[in-house]
Chain A
């Protein structure tokens, strides 16, 4: 009898300590919901191939972080009020995290310390061709206008009750640049990293759905059919001087943008100089892939059920959509102004590409333009504002960090 009781007690003890039992204790059901969401995202990534390179590790990180008792990620370690891991003057005790933390805690240090986003920018720089921008410098202004969504979403978020730091992080979703959104949020509102990163990447994947209705609403058929002049050829010297000059000017005027712009331009200089092909290939392939895995899985891990499933997340998702929509509108409206000022030589559709999201936003401009004139090739014209948007969103990030950091 005693043996039987002991056996029952042992089994009951194991079951009550198991992750399954934790689902029914306190906020545990939220973890169960998040696991279902993670599985849904995995289906989107694997079956429908929606941004699979990012969505798959993010979704799996979400899955791992919501398995009760697994202890792979501990958000409480990164709470500044936890004096076991933070000094009184607000510095993270990295050694303590390395000693106590799980795998994802350690990988998350790359996000927390702002290491991954600049390294992603390095890889992006290696893959980006700035020729369309150099041959048509006016397109930089379209890249600036498309950042309007960031500031409008900032105001919206402020008025629905978020504080200025969180509002800045929500606004930067409108920059349509995942690494920039993660960089700003990790500096200003790390607690909201999960919902903001998920919203940013989701909307980037949905650009072909979000942008066309706004583009059609704000332009006339005549404007959509405008054929633009062929871009001039850009010399190698110009391509080499460009990243050096941009780094110097932007970093001197706005030092807080130096890390993102500097790494972007370093990557681009490696590509354009043609003398470091080996490290350029490494930066755009192996390094970028490794960082993407680390970034994806750790961002996913920040979406713990208890902190993710709340009304604030809905507010972030809503304002993020507004940021994208107003950014698109800002670029198109400046495109329309350019259309008027140049006597119809600029197709306003290229303005929507100013929201970054390289090269998807430029492809949307091309596709919408071709719906009205199949022989019209806007792709390279749209790449100008598109890469300008990357610089523009990095500058906007620098402004927000400067103001609220």
Chain B
């Protein structure tokens, strides 16, 4: 087997030697391998930029939409647990930020309200099927 040819004979080494060899070779190989991947991604990222033009343009963090502390309507508290509010608002804010990414526009979230509940049972089932967690 290929592996057997490379394997260390641990019985002939002290614990110190074995530790040093394994740690140094392990860290070096992991870093080396991922460094090669960094270079590879950078190379095809360079060609990707050339091909995509504006799509690779970076936008500064300051251009992220401002998220103001919201006066939460009482109906929001009915929709989610009070302890989850901050997390839900953060997720919605992040989604809005992603939507405006690269446009240079700023978005401000002023309120979050539950949508109307007039959706049909079939539509609700379809949505549930498409957005369920893995």
Contacts and interface: CB of A to CB of B under 8 A. Distances in A.
B107 interface: no
Nearest to A381: B61
A20 interface: no
A255 B26 CA distance: 15
Nearest to B35: A141
Interface in A199-231: 227-230
Contacts of A145: 31
B3 A400 contact: no
A140 interface: yes
Interface in B74-133: 86, 90, 93-94, 97-98, 101-102
16 contacts: A137-B37, A138-B38, A145-B31, A147-B26, A150-B26, A151-B27, A159-B19, A168-B22, A233-B52, A242-B44, A245-B44, A254-B33, A366-B90, A375-B64, A404-B8, A405-B3
Given A164-B8, A228-B61, A254 B26 contact: no
Contacts of A253: 33, 36
Interface residues of B, number: 54
A309 interface: no
A154 B19 contact: yes
Contacts of B66: 375
Contacts of A127: 134
Given A229-B60, A285-B134, A403 B34 contact: no
Interface string B1-31: 0111011101000010011001101110111
Contacts, number: 163
Contact of B102 (A233, A245, A392): A233
Nearest to B2: A255
Interface in A383-397: 388, 391-392, 395-396
A106 interface: no
Contact of B41 (A159, A242, A285): A242
Contacts of A287: none
B56 interface: yes
A229 B35 contact: no
A230 B40 contact: no
Interface string B47-67: 010011001111111111011
B35 A151 contact: no
Contact of A235 (B40, B48, B67): B48
B73 interface: no
B6 A155 contact: no
A241 interface: yes
B61 A227 contact: yes
Contacts of A143: 34
Interface residues on A, range: 35 or more
Contacts of B67: 374-375
Given A154-B22, A375-B67, A388 B56 contact: no
A140 B48 contact: no
A277 interface: no
A232 interface: yes
Interface of A: 127, 133-135, 137-138, 140-141, 143-145, 147-148, 150-152, 154-155, 158-159, 163-164, 168, 227-230, 232-235, 237-238, 241-242, 245-246, 249-250, 253-256, 284-285, 288, 366, 370, 374-375, 377, 379-380, 388, 391-392, 395-396, 399-405
A233 B23 CA distance: 37
A403 B7 CA distance: 4
A405 B9 CA distance: 10
A141 B56 CA distance: 22
Contacts of B64: 227, 230, 375, 377
B36 A249 contact: yes
A31 B8 CA distance: 38
Given A230-B58, A233-B55, A134 B27 contact: no
A134 B86 CA distance: 30
Contacts of A234: 48
Nearest to B37: A140
A403 B30 contact: no
Nearest to B90: A370
- Chain A CB within 10 Å, residue with most, of B27, B33, B40, B45: B33
Contacts of B55: 232-233, 235
Nearest to B23: A151
A138 B64 CA distance: 22
A168 B41 CA distance: 30
B94 A377 contact: yes
A318 to B, nearest CB: 17
Contacts of B56: 232-233
